[in-house]
Amino acid sequence: MNKKSIRDVDLAGKRVFCRVDFNVPMQDGVITDDTRIRAAVPTIQFLQGAGAKVILASHFGRPKGQVVEEMRLTPVAKHLSGLLGKDVKKLDDSVGPEVEAAVASMQNGEVILLENVRFHAGEEKNDPALAQSFAKLADLFVNDAFGAAHRAHASTAGIAQYIPAVAGLLMEKEIRFLGGALSRPERPFTAIVGGAKVKDKIAVIENLLTKVNHLIIGGGMANTFLKAQGCEIGASLCEDDKLDLARTLMAQAKERGVQLLMPVDVIVADRFAADADKQTVAVDAIPDGWMALDIGPKTVELYHQVIVDSKTVVWNGPMGVFEMDAFAGGTIGVAKAMEACQGTTIIGGGDSVAAVEKAGVAEKMTHISTGGGASLEFMEGKELPGVAVLQDNE
Ligand SMILES: Nc1ncnc2c1ncn2[C@@H]1O[C@H](COP(=O)(O)OP(=O)(O)O)[C@@H](O)[C@H]1O
Ligand SMILES: O=C(OP(=O)(O)O)[C@H](O)COP(=O)(O)O
């Protein structure tokens, strides 16, 4: 996947419509995690340095095509101004005569932020008229919004019908790490898949089985695999309609020579609560009425060995109910194994990002994706619409 980026094009004096993903967690107007904003700064500064007029666009939340006051990007503009050390003007809309006038008066190197693009119903419908209105503002489309690259919307994909489209530096980095790991990994290549449900990760597992040497399963979804193998899993979360599928996936792994690693012990609780009674048991000794909420210490040890011996590791989804300290041990143990691994370590977005942060090892990872849904679809082997529209490098 060799896409043109902002390094490959002439930017001086150009009006650049730069789509970013500033959909950050916010509480009462205060940004609680600015990772996605910081991740876009290198692209913004590169564009500024090259003398472009930088028109930033993003969605925020799901306002469903209407103006929702709490979903304005005003706090984001303020925060970005601090990060850039330069005032970023935020406009009240993302298209229309006032926006066009503001863009027309921009200086080279100036940065403005348009209002939440999802205030227009045409955004999520990928309406050509809205895409054209965005395109009218600029000479070049730069997509740096990896987190929204799985959406075929007017500002992530549609706009590329009308003006040339290239990747920003964050988009380029995400494609390089996630794409590189999946297409030409250094081996042994291990994938760790956890989280609540098999249902959400079927396509990911199927695609990974064609690529990895080891596939580690953890979290709630491991229960379905354990039951499919004949274990009694008590009151654990289980998808009974996915037992056959789990058996098929296990057979596929065997056929392909992929080592499938499943928990050998688990932490069980008498109810789903942080202060529940708990005990560590082998997977074939889960007491009736108890539920597995984390992988056990023997499993952590087993997974640790495989992870540290790998040259490439990709991780998506926690090993247990890590939001509760009592059931976070397995997830933290895997995070520590990732830290100890000398190879390339990639966190595929979502809850696993919070997990490596909780374990204090985020800095040690080779790459942490800024996209949850986007990285999942990437790992499913799907072509993301926001990537597909970018020009190929000859
Ligand atoms: N054994 C388990 N039983 C119930 N829920 C679990 C278990 N293990 C993990 N979970 C839950 O799975 C959720 C994350 O699942 P998911 O959304 O699929 O992961 P991700 O966001 O990383 O893709 C977490 O909220 C976690 O508490
Ligand atoms: O936060 C996002 O998704 P993610 O939590 O799956 O990474 C993206 O900004 C996409 O948002 P959307 O799922 O409302 O299209």
Encode pLDDT of 241-291 as tens digits. Answer: 999 999 999 999 999 999 999 999 999 999 999 999 999 999 999 999 999
Q: What DSSP character marks residue 349?
A: S
Model confidence pLDDT, tens digit, residues 295-320:
999 999 999 999 999 999 999 999 99
The number of the ligand nearest the C-alpha atom of 266 reads 1
Give the burial class of 387: count Cβ atoms within 10 A of its Cβ; 0-12 exposed, 13-18 middle, 19 or more buried. Answer: buried
Out of 351, 358, 376, mutate this one to test ligand 1's pocket (max ligand atoms within 8 Å of CB): namely 351
Task: Name the catalytic one among 219, 330, 350, 371.
Answer: 350
- Specify burial of residue 289 (Cβ count, 10 A radius: 0-12, 13-18, 19+): exposed
Report which protein residue has its CA nearest ligand 1's atom 7. Answer: 220
Would you say residue 74 has pLDDT above 90?
yes
Can you say how many angstroms the Cα of residue 312 is from the centroid of all Cα atoms in its chain?
18
Instruction: Give 210-238 pLDDT, tens digit per residue.
Output: 999 999 999 999 999 999 999 999 999 99
Please indicate whether residue 333 is annotated as part of the active site. no
Report whether pLDDT(91) > 80: yes
Average predicted confidence (pLDDT) for the chain: 97
Residue 349: band (very low, low, confident or very high) from pLDDT cuts 50, 70, 90? confident
Provide the β-strand partners of residue 78: none
Nearest to 81 by CA among 72, 90, 91: 90
Atom of ligand 1 nearest to the CA of 201: 18
Residue 141 bridge partners (DSSP): 17, 165
Q: What is the pLDDT of residue 394?
A: 80
Ligand 2 centroid from CA 192, angstroms: 22
CA end-to-end distance (rounded Å), the chain: 11
User: Ligand 2: residues within 6 Å at CB?
Assistant: 21, 23, 62, 147-148, 151, 349, 371-373
Q: Is 21 part of any known ligand binding site?
A: yes
70 CB burial (10 A radius; 0-12, 13-18, 19+): exposed
Q: Is 349 annotated as a binding residue?
A: yes
The reported pTM is 0.93
Ligand nearest to the CA of 61: 2
Residue 53 is labelled as binding a ligand: no
- Judge whether 89 counts as a catalytic residue: no
